[in-house]
Amino acid sequence: MKRKIPLIIGTVGVMLALAACSGASPSGQSGGKVTLTVWTGFTGGDRPGYAQIVKDFNASQSKIKVVMDVEPWDTIQQKLPSAWLTGQGPDLAAPSSDPNVIAQYVKTNSVLPITDTGSGASQIDVSNIAPALIKEFTYSNKLYAVPANYATLSLYYNKTEFAAAGIATAPTTLAEFQADAQKLTLGGGTKQYGLALADNATIQMWPILQWMSGGDIVDATGCSVLQTPAGQNSLKTWSDLVVNNKIAPVGLTGAEADSLFSAGKAAMEMNGPWAAPGFKSAGINLGIAKIPVGVSGPVTLGSTAPLAISAKTKYPQQAQQFLAYYTSKAVQKKFSLATGFPPIRTDLATDPQLLADPIISVFASQVADARLYLPHLTNATQVDANGYVPLIGQITRGKSVATQTAAIAKTINALTGCSS
Amino acid sequence: MTADTIGRGGVRRGGRALPPAVSTDKLPESRRRRFRWQPAWLFMAPSLLILGVFVIWPILVSFWYSLHNWTIGATDQPWVGLGNYVTLFKDPQFWNALGNTLEFTVASVILLVVLGFLTAVALMGEGLVSRIFRSTYFFPTIVSLTSIGLVWKFMLDPSIGLVAGITQFFGAAPIGWLQSTTLALPAVIFVAVWKNVGFTMIIFLAGLKGVPQERYEAAQLDGANRRQLVRYVTLPSIRPTILFATIILTIQSLQVFDLVYVMTGGGPIFTTDTLVTQIFRDGFVNFQTGYASAISWVLFAVIMAISAILLRVFRYNDVD
């Protein structure tokens, strides 16, 4: 037995050491106060807006404390599935900037259905949140997330470069947009591009160009329409402008497009409200306008990130209480004013203070015309990564639109399960 | 007879073998001493435990995953047997990634070994200049791949990067190194070589300094010229060093991820996609854990096979 004593002590020591190393969630209860952890990937210029919501919530009551952990989206994507599976994850999280990703968490029963809805002070007022956003996060008639934000894309332009090109105002129609993009391209792009147009690792810009030109990616049944005449025409016009007229560099990521515009090397860029602070601090003589009206009317991209509750949280009621506060009218108004994002609530659409703000008003005025990217589409993330992004990459490098759309249509249909 | 008189393998130090086929439980106490618990296990226990929990167990589990259509968190994990392996062998993205990975590995390892050797030969001296150059070349090794990737990505930007600025200064058009489907992979290889050449140089320096001077003197007495000294003295003498450097660099290159992920994300149009970036995408973005695990095991097999080939190629005649 004496010989075994060191072994026992050693084993216990190692177990204790491993236990101390385990990544236990800091959420819990102490002194009657519940602590909720939240993971988000809001690292951009809008980050202070979310931090302010958490700070105000913690100050508003004494029973719940929210701790928000901000990490890059990539990191959250890697950690969250297994963290939620093992019960070691946060009580709430924005799993991705891609709203479609919530479908995966619903499939794996990782997120809690939100039930505490209604018009009460401590309830989530679903009826006043933009219906498209509620629909995006509803599966089998159950709501699994609330929108952490809602952004539309607008047209940023460099007023100085517009003036130098003799253009007085931002384009308002598709024809003006295309003409201005060409006019603002100097030296075949070596001196200046008309448009900073990202096609990968970015908020989606190409779908807007397609929608403006009367095309689309998939229909209501999830089948590709890229290969249809309308789909091809919508792509060909713009790819020709890129390939032949060099209005935009090829293969830009979102960050590279932002850098290009910030450096004054591109005259226009379509982007969300989060980009405004960076462009201003870069010293751009900045103008913000609505996306030019397309052939079928005004259209832009709507973007939202889901904020969901872990199915394994010990505090589902408190988590929903936080979401009720997060989505409340006063909080969302303050968030909009701080970040320039349009409000997620429909009852703030006519708020005079928001309408008077020169930035928010532009983004908010396009909410009604905004479309989400591949909403509720099966395997939407793969359709984007394996279908749409490579397609744009090929046609902007001079490959045939007809050939490429025909090939990618097969890929997309296989991913979505389209049988027609 | 005491245990001390029995050597390893149950052979008496005198050389006479023990009687065969003796049941262990019938052995006298003294004969079973080699099976009893040793205190050394206690000292090894923390390492073994950590190795088991964080390395061996996940490796085994990943193989189990690869036999299922596994999704993290799903209640149902359908058994597919070798289905994932069959699928990936029909997957053009997998073959593309494998091709890119091998291209990256072959190019970077050859360049690193050659440049590392030449740099080491050039900087073997102990003078101040040699020391300064050695430190300079080694510096990128201690910087993280992510930082290096970001810096080079910025420098290679065709619109606002330093390289484009220089080329434009000389009247040439800027080149989209990382946006080009033909130049992106060579650009990433170049950065990988730039980062690791200092590390390879240090390995070769250690090997070169270990070559006995007498061998050179003997060869010179036999009339060997400079080229023959390298061919017949230096290279055979540092063969273990070459083997070590080649295997380490090969394994590192086959697992390349950070640099590609930061610089190109696998693009443009998958032209820099490697096996590990595909594993990341399928595992963490597309939630296809089983499929990603299958790719991991194929990568493991590739590394094992190439390592075995290298060991065979670089072996001493009959020594190892």
Convert the pLDDT of each residue in A198-235 to its tens digit: 999 899 999 999 999 999 999 999 999 999 999 999 99
Rg, C-alpha atoms of chain B: 26
Q: How far apart are CA B111 and CA B197, in angstroms?
A: 9
Tell me if chain B has a CB within 8 Å of the CB of A228.
no
B141 CB-contact burial (10 Å; exposed 0-12 / middle 13-18 / buried 19+): middle
Which among B135, B59, B78, B44 is positioned nearest to B299, based on CA atoms? B59
Tell me if chain B has a CB within 8 Å of the CB of A200.
yes
Query: Contact A190/B71, CB-based, under 8 Å?
Result: no
Is it the case that residue B166 has pLDDT exceeding 50?
A: yes
Q: Are residues A44 and A161 in the same domain?
A: no
Position B174 confidence tier, pLDDT thresholds 50, 70, 90: confident
Query: Contact A6/B42, CB-based, under 8 Å?
Result: yes
pLDDT at A87: 85
Q: Least CA distance to B269: which residue of chain A?
A: A390
Query: Contact A107/B285, CB-based, under 8 Å?
Result: no
CB A78 within 8 Å of CB A279: no
Average pLDDT over residues B136-157: 93
Q: How far is B59 from chain A (nearest CA, A)?
A: 16
In chain B, pLDDT over 70 holds for what percent of residues? 87
Q: How far apart are CA B93 and CA A386, in angstroms?
A: 9
Q: How far apart are CA A147 and CA B79, in angstroms?
A: 36
Q: What angle do CA B6, B11, B14 make, to 5 degrees?
A: 80
B chain contacts of residue A393, beta-carbon cutoff 8 Å: 267-269
Own/partner long-range contacts of B74-78 (Cβ < 8 Å, ≥24 apart): B74/A107, B74/A108, B75/A108, B75/A109, B77/B290
Q: Are residues A267 and A185 in the same domain?
A: yes
- Label each residue of chain B as H, E or C: CCHHHECHHHEECCCCECCCCCCHHHCCHHHHHHHCCCHHHHHHHHHHHHHHHHHHHHHHHHHHHHCECCCCCCCCCCECCCHHHHHHHCCHHHHHHHHHHHHHHHHHHHHHHHHHHHHHHHCCCCCHHHHHHHHHHHHHHHCCHHHHHHHHHHHCCCCCCHHHHHHHHCCCCCCCCCCCCCCHHHHHHHHHHHHHHHHHHHHHHHHHHCCCHHHHHHHHHCCCCHHHHHHHHHHHHCHHHHHHHHHHHHHHHHCCCHHHHHHCCCCCCCCCCCHHHHHHHHHHHCCCHHHHHHHHHHHHHHHHHHHHHHHHHHCCCCCC
- What are the tokens at A75? 């990191």
How many domains does chain A fold into?
A: 2
Q: Are residues A318 and A292 in the same domain?
A: no
Q: Are residues A292 and A386 in the same domain?
A: yes
Give CA B109 to chain center in angstroms.
Answer: 10
Q: Least CA distance to A382: which residue of chain B?
A: B286
CB B113 within 8 Å of CB B246: yes
Low-confidence residues in chain A, pLDDT < 70: 1-27, 30-31, 420
Is residue A26, in this structure, part of any structural domain at all? Answer: no
Can you give the residue range of the structural domain that contains A142? 31-150+304-364
CB A65 within 8 Å of CB A325: no
pLDDT at B162: 94
Q: Are residues A298 and A308 in the same domain?
A: no
Is residue A342, in this structure, part of any structural domain at all? Answer: yes
Mean pLDDT, chain B, integer? 87
Tell me if chain B has a CB within 8 Å of the CB of A7.
yes
Which of A337, A364, A391 lies at the terminal end of a domain, its last residue? A364
pLDDT at B316: 57
Average pLDDT over residues B167-191: 93
Q: What angle do CA B21, B25, B27 make, to 5 degrees?
A: 65
B chain contacts of residue A253, beta-carbon cutoff 8 Å: 265
Is residue A21, in this structure, part of any structural domain at all? Answer: no
A chain contacts of residue B287, beta-carbon cutoff 8 Å: 81, 104
- CATH number of the domain encompassing residue A309: 3.40.190.10
Q: How far is B274 from chain A (nearest CA, A)?
A: 15
pLDDT at B253: 96
Parallel, antiparallel or unpaired: strands A266-271 and A154-158: antiparallel
Q: How far apart are CA A167 and CA B186, in angstroms?
A: 42
Q: How far apart are CA A33 and CA A259, in angstroms?
A: 45
Q: Residue A374: which H helix or E strand, with range? A: none
Is residue A12, in this structure, part of any structural domain at all? Answer: no
Convert the pLDDT of each residue in B227-243 to its tens digit: 999 999 999 999 999 99
Q: Are residues A401 and A331 in the same domain?
A: no
Strand, helix or coil for residue A304? strand
Q: How far apart are CA B218 and CA A81, in angstroms?
A: 65
Q: How far apart are CA B113 and CA A31, in angstroms?
A: 62
Strand, helix or coil for residue A274? helix
B chain contacts of residue A77, beta-carbon cutoff 8 Å: 284-285
Q: How far apart are CA A103 and CA A69, in angstroms?
A: 23
B chain contacts of residue A81, beta-carbon cutoff 8 Å: 72-73, 284, 287
Q: Are residues A173 and A145 in the same domain?
A: no
Convert the pLDDT of each residue in B11-37 to its tens digit: 334 344 444 444 445 555 555 556 667
Which among A146, A88, A140 is positioned nearest to A313, based on CA atoms? A88
pLDDT at B137: 92
Give CA A218 to chain center in angstroms.
Answer: 20
Q: Residue A266: which H helix or E strand, with range? A: strand A266-271
Which of A345, A364, A383 lies at the terminal end of a domain, its last residue? A364
- What are the tokens at A375? 């909403």
What ipTM was reported for this prediction?
Answer: 0.82
A66 CB-contact burial (10 Å; exposed 0-12 / middle 13-18 / buried 19+): buried
Q: How far apart are CA A409 and CA B281, in angstroms?
A: 21
Is residue A3, in this structure, part of any structural domain at all? Answer: no
pLDDT at B6: 38
- Enumerate residues 6+ apart whose C-beta is below 8 A from B226: none
Convert the pLDDT of each residue in B280-312 to its tens digit: 999 988 889 999 999 999 999 999 999 999 888
Average pLDDT over residues B176-198: 95
B chain contacts of residue A198, beta-carbon cutoff 8 Å: none
Tell me if chain B has a CB within 8 Å of the CB of A182.
no
Is residue A13, in this structure, part of any structural domain at all? Answer: no
Q: Point out which residues pair with B12 in neighbouring strands.
A: B6
Q: Are residues A238 and A183 in the same domain?
A: yes
Q: Point out which residues pair with A151 in neighbouring strands.
A: A303
Q: Are residues A181 and A49 in the same domain?
A: no
Q: How far apart are CA A105 and CA A278, in angstroms?
A: 33
Q: How far apart are CA B46 and CA B200, in angstroms?
A: 32
- What are the tokens at A179? 């003409």
Q: Are residues A182 and A282 in the same domain?
A: yes
Q: How far is A416 from chain B (nearest CA, A)?
A: 14
Q: How far apart are CA A350 and CA A322, in angstroms?
A: 25
Q: How far apart are CA A171 and CA A31, in angstroms?
A: 59
Residue corresponding to tokens 């979505």? A416
Is residue A22, in this structure, part of any structural domain at all? Answer: no
Q: Are residues A328 and A391 in the same domain?
A: no
Sorted by where each starts, the structural domains of chain B and their CATH numbers stand as 1-36 (no CATH), 91-314 (1.10.3720.10)
Convert the pLDDT of each residue in B39-87 to its tens digit: 888 999 999 999 999 999 999 999 999 999 998 878 889 999 999 999 9
The count of residues in chain A is 420
- What are the tokens at A16? 């204790």
Q: Are residues A138 and A283 in the same domain?
A: no
